[in-house]
């Protein structure tokens, strides 16, 4: 089969990584999968033009029910959809977008949700299409870059004092409002002034140029909080390995690959208590969930001083990844989904 996969393909983002991984699963079954960025298309007509110019496609896939799915409306080629986080958590708040998403789901052969919580939300929103929604957690495979220089990484972020007692909290996110990278800045700065050995490093692509400027301006005045240039996935994994903890501060999440990758690498996670995060992180078992900047600081202080808690979170996190986020199970799942497009 020849398939077209539409997704947001901004480099070094979760969407891009997920799309590339899904393409690999599909092609490992002997199919051809062509990746295209949704930003290259304005309407379903643009996709139709692409389909008419190339040898016939047997099926279409899209990540995000609105961003990608809207481009498939009216398609004569069978398609499947993979939910993101923004569609279920944010786009549904807009009545116009929600109506489009309903049409997309009605026309789909299948829809993939990353978690049971996401499936339940979709079934509540669109009960008539509930039978089409399947749960397939993201598969995780980490690969740290060899020869990675931690001190160079810290210098690139502006961290000058990198003594042995330095504890780096790494916040991995694209710079856009829904990721809320400024949520912890003031509270963390106050903590850093009390404990200079703790620093917060934010790293990720500048996805919203205007907001990125605001983030940079804010951090120039924030003690102990730094912004690192984006890195390749392998370099990011190496930086994660050297960090004390992975931080997430998103307003909403689908299924954060950064959280799962940190667990796989044996790094404790301290993440904001939103539904997408709570679906994969069990408080005090596989990670720590916080509901305010002050609670983040309190829990992080506890983690620094409680070696038993840290060891438990790391061990349980790795077991969770091995049990629920197997690459081989994800590959098997997508190969079965593709068969539904025949």
**The predicted structure's pLDDT at residue 267:** 98
**Is 163's pLDDT higher than 80?**
no
Calculate the alpha carbon distances from 44 to 96, 188, 198, 209, 303 in Å. 17, 45, 49, 27, 50
| pLDDT confidence of residue 95 | 94
pLDDT tens per residue across span 12-50: 777 888 999 999 999 999 999 999 999 999 999 999 999
Domains and CATH numbers, the chain: 2-139+326-339 (3.40.50.2000), 150-324 (3.40.50.2000)
* Residues 180-235: tens digit of each pLDDT: 999 999 999 999 999 999 999 999 999 999 999 999 999 999 999 999 999 999 99
- Provide the pLDDT confidence category of residue 317 given band limits of 50, 70 and 90: very high
Helix axes 293-305, 185-194, angle to 10 degrees: 40
Other Cβ atoms closer than 10 A to 193: 10
pTM for this prediction:
0.88
Query: Does pLDDT of 332 surpass 80?
Result: yes
Q: What is the pLDDT of residues 224-281, one digit of tens each?
A: 999 999 999 999 999 999 999 999 999 999 889 999 999 999 999 999 999 889 999 9
Predicted confidence at residue 324, as pLDDT, reads 94
Residue 334's pLDDT is 97
pLDDT tens per residue, range 55-80: 899 999 999 999 999 999 999 999 99
CB distance 3 to 77 below 8 Å: no
The tokens for 136 are: 């397939």
Q: Which of 221, 125, 213, 149 is nearest to 175 (CA)?
A: 213
63 near 80, Cβ under 8 Å?
A: no
pLDDT score, position 45: 95
Q: In this structure, are residues 169 and 185 in contact, taking their beta carbons and an 8 Å threshold?
A: no
What phi and psi values does residue 60 have, to the nearest 5 degrees? Answer: -125, 145
- How many whole angstroms separate alpha carbon 113 and alpha carbon 264? 21
Residue 38: its pLDDT value, please?
95
pLDDT at 61: 98
Mind listing the pLDDT tens digit for each residue in 120-134? 999 999 999 999 999
Q: How many CB atoms lie within 10 A of CB 134?
A: 15
């Amino acid at each position: 089969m020849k398939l077209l996969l539409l997704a947001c393909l901004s480099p070094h983002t979760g969407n891009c990584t997920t799309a590339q991984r899904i393409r690999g699963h599909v092609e490992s079954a002997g199919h051809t999968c062509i990746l295209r960025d949704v930003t290259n298309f304005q309407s379903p007509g643009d996709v139709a033009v692409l389909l008419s110019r190339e040898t016939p496609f047997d099926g279409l896939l899209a990540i995000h029910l609105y961003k990608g799915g809207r481009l498939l409306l009216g398609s004569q080629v069978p398609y499947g959809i993979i939910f993101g986080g923004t569609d279920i958590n944010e786009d549904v708040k807009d009545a116009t977008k929600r109506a489009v998403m309903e049409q997309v789901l009605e026309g789909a052969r299948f829809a993939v949700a990353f978690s049971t919580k996401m499936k339940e939300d979709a079934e509540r929103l669109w009960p008539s299409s509930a039978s089409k929604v399947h749960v397939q957690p993201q598969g995780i495979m980490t690969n740290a870059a060899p020869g990675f220089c931690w001190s160079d990484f810290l210098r690139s972020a502006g961290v000058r004092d990198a003594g042995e007692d330095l504890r780096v909290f790494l916040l991995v996110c694209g710079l856009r409002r829904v990721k809320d990278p400024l949520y912890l800045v003031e509270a963390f700065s106050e903590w850093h002034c009390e404990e200079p050995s703790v620093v917060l490093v934010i790293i990720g692509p500048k996805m919203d140029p205007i907001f990125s400027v605001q983030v940079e301006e804010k951090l120039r005045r924030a003690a102990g909080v730094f912004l690192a240039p984006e890195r390749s996935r392998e370099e990011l994994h190496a930086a994660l390995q050297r960090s004390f903890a992975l931080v997430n501060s998103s307003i909403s999440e689908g299924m954060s690959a950064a959280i799962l990758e940190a667990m796989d690498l044996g790094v404790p996670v301290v993440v904001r208590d939103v539904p997408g995060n709570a679906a994969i992180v069990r408080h005090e078992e596989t990670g720590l969930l916080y509901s305010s900047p002050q609670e983040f600081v309190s829990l992080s202080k506890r983690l620094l001083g409680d070696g038993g808690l840290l060891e438990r979170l790391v061990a349980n996190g790795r077991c969770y990844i091995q049990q629920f986020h197997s690459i081989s199970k994800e590959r098997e799942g997508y190969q079965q989904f593709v068969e539904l497009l025949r």
